[in-house]
Amino acid sequence: MAHEYRLISADGHVVEPPDMWTKYLPARFHDRAPRLVKDPKGGDAWELAPGAPPMPIGLVTNAGPYGKRYEELEWYGSTYETIMKGAFSGKERLEEQDFDGVDAEVLFPSQRTMAAFMAQEDDDYHLAGLEAYNTWMHDELMAADPDRLIGLAQMPGVDVATAIKWLRDAKAAGYKGVIISAYPSGNADLSRDDDAFFEVAEAEQMPVHIHSGLRQAGKRKKSGSGQRAAVEAGKPPGLAQMGGAVGDASQFMSKFIYSGLFDRFPGLQMVAVECGAGWIPHFLEHMDDHYWRNRTWVGSELKMLPSEYFRRNWKATFIREPFAVAVRHWIGVDNLMWSSDYPHHRHDWPYSRRVVEESMAGVPEAERRRMVCDNAHELYRLG
């Protein structure tokens, strides 16, 4: 039976269930696997590596049933018994979607946990951790309804051949797209070494997602990087980190565009996730001006304006951004995808429909529908 889609969130998250690592990581890694411990206020937390500070779950889960006021938010004290179960259970996630009026979500992993595995310098452990997550996502959470729970497969950062195999395996398994947190080649910067991966992504029609940034690029080649990432994950971030560094997105997006990647692979689709969107008109204007003034002396061989590559090859998610909606024509209505970020603390569950109506007041229905449903529906080829 085909689903009727009216509201699709292009960015939601999960947290790993309490038994995930013991269940899906090979036994030989259990002595250094993430371990459930207590935070300073008795809440549940993950010790991502032996001796690392506990990583609390408070701000990345919904305390429910109606969340908390901003003034009541805190990292510590939440447990798997007190949070909404949709953070790690597909069946309950569908019920929470129904209550919010959301018809489908594109799902991303716990960013801190993935960062710890992405930084692991041990190839085998790096791959085992990512495979454990992808297997759980596919076999358990998505299995409740893969047409509404649209999980994305996390790609490794070992070498391009491994990344290609993983992408093809993800496609065969039914995933609708993949996430990169580092360059597929494992290099510290984008290069032609990555082309083979993007060629396959284009051929397989698998959108490539970058959530917030590519901060893991090159990290695995530094001794002790895995332990450092686990320690950092256990330190609650400050306002600067929680404020959202949209500048990171302009850097990686311009790098991809200026590199000529989209001339080589014109059908490649990429998504900038949780980077905001209201800044994009200035970004496009700046790129085009920079290109015109410098294209000759730098020997640029781009076939189109930078802004044209953005509008053909990129989409950007946004959460609660009335300004982005107001300047949507400068961005491209076809390039914007609304998201709730549920169950992270930026969400407005269970009032997503109200927030959409408020932020899109006066927007023609066809444009509104593209941003809250149709763009995602088409990108992920939903039934």
Whether the predicted pLDDT of 63 surpasses 90: no
Would 325 be classed as within a structural domain?
yes
Take residue 263 and report the two structure tokens written for it: 């001339």
Would 65 be classed as within a structural domain?
no
Output the DSSP codes for 32-101: GS-EEEE-TTS-EEEE-STTPPPEE-GGGS--SSS---GGG--SSS--TTTS-GGGT-HHHHHHHHHHHT
Would 138 be classed as within a structural domain?
yes
For 32-41, the pLDDT digits (tens) are 999 999 999 9
**What is the reported pLDDT for 243?**
65
CATH value at residue 288: 3.20.20.140
**What is the reported pLDDT for 101?**
97
Would 77 be classed as within a structural domain?
no
Give the domain range for residue 362. Answer: 8-27+93-379
Rounded distance, CA 255 to CA 250, Å?
Answer: 8
Q: How confident is the model at residue 237 (pLDDT cuts 50, 70, 90)?
A: confident
pLDDT mean over 256-283: 97
pLDDT mean over 75-80: 96
Rounded distance, CA 87 to CA 355, Å?
Answer: 21
**What is the reported pLDDT for 326?**
98
**What is the reported pLDDT for 1?**
57
| Range of lowest pLDDT (178-187, 228-237, 311-320) | 228-237
pLDDT mean over 187-206: 97
Would 63 be classed as within a structural domain?
no
Mean pLDDT of all residues in the chain?
95
> Total structural domains in the chain?
1
Whether the predicted pLDDT of 377 surpasses 60: yes
Would 52 be classed as within a structural domain?
no
Would 298 be classed as within a structural domain?
yes
